[in-house]
Structure 1
Amino acid sequence: MQSHVLEPRALIPARDAIVAIAFIGDLSMGRATDQSPRTAWLAMALARAAACSDAEIAAVEICALLRWSGCTANAAGFERILGDDVAGREAMMALTLPPLNADAQSQMPEMAQIHCEVAGDIARMLDLGEPIETALRHTFERYDGSGLPGVLHGDAVPLAVYIVALASDLEILSRAHGLPRALQWIESRAGQVYPTGLAALLRQHAADWLAQLDGFSSQNTLLPPALNATHQPVALELVADIADLKLPWLAGYSRQVATLAQSVALALGLEAAQAQQLYRAGLIHNMGRAALPNALWNVSGPLVYAAWERVRLVPYWTRRAAQHTAALAAEAELASYAYERLDGSGYFRGVTGEAIPTERRVLAAVVAWCALVSRRPWRAAYTASDAAALLQAEARAGRLDAAVVDAVIAHATGRLPTRKTATLLSERETDVLRRISLGESNKEVARALVISPSTVRTHMESIFRKLQCSTRAAATLKAFTLGVL
């Protein structure tokens, strides 16, 4: 299958990719944006105290950073179960969520399966090695065998799973309830969630380790440069795809923005380096969306004031990514201007005119165009002519740059060379997966393609077999990475 992998157009150091994915995970789980790095530091400290080897300690760090890497993939499921997928999962981790009813409980194995399959696939795509991949595929296993997916227990569970679970519990519960209560909970879980001896070792050092953590002035202190030592650069497109998984109708959206922004920049005469930076900014402009619950994005009709205030923070969270990922600092700054407008009516800064140079104007116009021509839960996609009319109206009103809008429309509606896709799937399988990736049900796909639901199921079974996965989220992620979609 490796021979089908699409050549990436943007590469970043492995360290920055892993930290960016951790940042997206923390936002999606409603956690503080330093939660995964702090957990990684605590996990490494516990691994050292447990006399783990250097290789095991390095694996523990990465497992802790990527523990929530699959959480965008099942966000839609948690929206269905909890209503607010962000706050609900935050409460679940802090042990403050009210008991789930029987129906919700019955859906938890599926949520765990989606999460673990995607996290494991991410580890494989990052070429992190079998131990890390295996640990991430069993993130929610428990010592007594009552975890999820529930196929391993006791010493058969990778040690990294227990170490990261303990570090995560200490980090989350001590913030939510204070250290004494957190230690009581950890003690009550010993022998059930994790080994008794390992839990006792953590409790012995917990106060000192948390004091050291609180003494750090910067999150970057928690992340040693050695994280890059043995790993090749990573495709930034993968980070974009992981962010887009949060909402099924966003599949491939960041790639679309990135590609069009780069093309328009070159058409306008910007330097190749500026166009490439726009491509990278387009890939990450959607990261901040993870901080808001899916239910907010799926609202039909105008948003109330309080909801709009939250939406206005999306580019702020994208910009915050710059403080976590050094290789993306300039791109994150540029991406955070995606919703600014020339007349000051945009967000989050509300800047005007001269504060928005050409590359920022390009990104704003491209994001607006791509949103208009994409289907949303509350409306069908606009036709190219309707989208062009709406964008031109924005330019006449002084909100978007007229010359840039003309270039976007001309380029987006022209006959552009299309990227050659892999032939791993048949044409019909690709049609089915394209619709499935956007959140359509089997019945909806069947109606659109004029085939029976049973034929859709047959195609999906073939797709899963060819892509070596078992969930729709994992198939979507792999399809974009392999160039199938």
Structure 2
Amino acid sequence: MGQPTDHSPRAAWLAGQLAKSVGADDMTCQEATAVSLLRWSGCTANAPEFAHLFGDDVNGRKALLATQSSSSGFRAGTRRKGSAFLSLSRIHCEVSGDIAAQLGLNDATQFALRHLFESHDGSGAPDGLRGEQVPVTVYIASLAGDLDIFNRLYGLEQACKLIEHRAGVLYPQALASLVVANASRWLAALDDDPTLSGPCSLDVAFADRATSLEILAHVIDLKLPWMTGYSRRVAQLASNAAVELGLGAPSQQMVYRAALIHGMGRAAVPNMIWETPGKLAESAWERVRLVPYWTGRAARQIGSLAGEAEVASYAYERPDGSGYYREAKAGNIPVEGRILAAAAALVALRAARPWRDALTDAAAGELLMAEATAGRFDAEVVRVLLNKPRRIMAKPLAAPLTGLLSERERDVLRWISLGASNKTAAQKLSISPSTVRTHVESVFRKLECTTRAAATLKATQLGFL
């Protein structure tokens, strides 16, 4: 979203303050905090569509969030782009709601996350709700986000003016007035407690809650359709290698978890850069070089992931010092980092990319071994990876529903999850585009979703992909 890594936690803290100021009970306060924290959780799901519309999906959304308009920046910025606001909102909201469901959050929170872009005047999306039809937690999250962004960009006085300008359109006048009246005090308290460890600590709101990192891996991979399943494949391969190398259980678990999150920083780089064939311009390459840095920075915000964040940040280092972002050499790269780097490279070589076909196992192995011989990967790790170690199959996060999808429906789903159009999927499967469309509609109905991103997320969770 082009925002600082602390934006969502800050906005969630502010949302908690606003919820308390209107006399909300503890449950509603937690719901408002959760909605604000997860407000942008669907951003990777519609990144391909944003890239198609704006070119730079990161800076494009950053600009929309900074728009000084009476309606939301997304509404204002897509007004001349047909049904873009509705389609982008639908993808984002559906995936955000599904993530909330997978996290075990209650129905009210899920409903709010499925209606994040609704407006008080009924001009929002995806369902055009208005007034009291819109959950109050949506209004609270929207106000908290606007206050944090506008205060940072334009200062407190202008932030309050912009919020007042949107009152009655985007959110209720009474809530907006409360924010304006308390903004200075809340922001000062937030600045005095940058770790959010005080009375409104997010840890207090979500004490004893935990979730599977596989969910995060799947959300990370949604940003680029051709990366579907990539993070989990890397995690499984790296974990198997750690077993074969005789590492202890803690290291095995560390490298597996680090692999699941190692692509987190990829969200900071526009899709148009990732899909560029050939050599990147220096400015684009500099953004790619910082991906492991942003991964480490973001993941360390979750205290329990500090060790994994460190390992994940070595995913693109090379023993000869030619990697990034540290340009570390062999003696300074932990063994878990060397395993992750080689596993990530091998999985990438074996998968198709927009600019090349997938390499065969033999060709990928030869290339990786040549790189190891040249000093760019740990040769022992590469030998273990290529010796087809004892496979420890990853288990789906939920037991696959036997018979839910037909074999042909699964085939179609695999192609559309990788970003293929109906026409391309039809060519790959030697069937007609209309048949593909029929199968897609059936898959959507059975998985209870309406967008390809949501179908991909659910299918990976259910073990169909």
**CA distance in structure 1 between the aligned counterparts of 2:220 and 2:235, rounded to whole angstroms:** 14
What pairs up with 1:237-252 in 2 under 5 angstroms? 237-252=214-229
Unaligned runs of 5+ in 1: 1-28
In structure 2, the partner of 1:366 is 343
The counterpart of 2:17, out of the listed 37, 45, 51, is 45
In structure 2, the partner of 1:120 is 97
The counterpart of 1:71, out of the listed 43, 49, 65, is 43
| Per-residue deviation, residues 173-212 of structure 1 (Å, max 9, x unmatched) | 1111111111111111111111111111111111111111
| Per-residue deviation, residues 40-81 of structure 1 (Å, max 9, x unmatched) | 111111111111111111111111000001111000100011
**CA distance in structure 2 between the aligned counterparts of 1:149 and 1:357, rounded to whole angstroms:** 47
Kept in 2, the 8 Å contact 1:84–1:294? The answer is yes
Aligned-residue offset at 1:306:
1.6
What pairs up with 1:4-403 in 2 under 5 angstroms? 29-95=1-67, 100=77, 104-219=81-196, 223-229=201-207, 231=209, 233-403=210-380
Kept in 1, the 8 Å contact 2:346–2:364? The answer is yes
Question: How many percent of aligned residue pairs carry the same amino acid?
Answer: 53
1:462 maps onto 2:439 in alignment: no
| Per-residue deviation, residues 87-126 of structure 1 (Å, max 9, x unmatched) | 1101101106896576524211000000000011111111
Number of equivalenced pairs: 455
Aligned-residue offset at 1:219:
4.9
**CA distance in structure 1 between the aligned counterparts of 2:393 and 2:235, rounded to whole angstroms:** 16
Aligned with 2:340: secondary structure?
A: helix
Distance 1:418 1:361, change over 3 A: closer
In structure 2, the partner of 1:15 is none
Kept in 2, the 8 Å contact 1:44–1:57? The answer is yes
**CA distance in structure 2 between the aligned counterparts of 1:410 and 1:220, rounded to whole angstroms:** 48
What RMSD, in angstroms, separates the aligned Cα atoms of the two structures?
Answer: 1.9
For normalisation by structure 2, the TM-score amounts to 0.94
The counterpart of 2:429, out of the listed 446, 449, 455, is 449
Distance 1:167 1:472, change over 3 A: same
Aligned-residue offset at 1:150:
3.7
Unaligned runs of 5+ in 2: none
Kept in 2, the 8 Å contact 1:219–1:324? The answer is no
In structure 2, the partner of 1:472 is 452
Distance 1:174 1:410, change over 3 A: same
Aligned-residue offset at 1:223:
3.5
**CA distance in structure 2 between the aligned counterparts of 1:377 and 1:322, rounded to whole angstroms:** 28
**CA distance in structure 2 between the aligned counterparts of 1:443 and 1:191, rounded to whole angstroms:** 45
Kept in 1, the 8 Å contact 2:338–2:377? The answer is yes
**CA distance in structure 2 between the aligned counterparts of 1:235 and 1:425, rounded to whole angstroms:** 25
**CA distance in structure 2 between the aligned counterparts of 1:63 and 1:449, rounded to whole angstroms:** 41
Aligned with 2:388: secondary structure?
A: helix
Distance 1:145 1:175, change over 3 A: same
| Per-residue deviation, residues 226-267 of structure 1 (Å, max 9, x unmatched) | 233364x31110011011111111111000000000011111
Greater mean alpha carbon deviation, residues 170-179 or residues 356-365: 356-365
**CA distance in structure 1 between the aligned counterparts of 2:302 and 2:202, rounded to whole angstroms:** 13
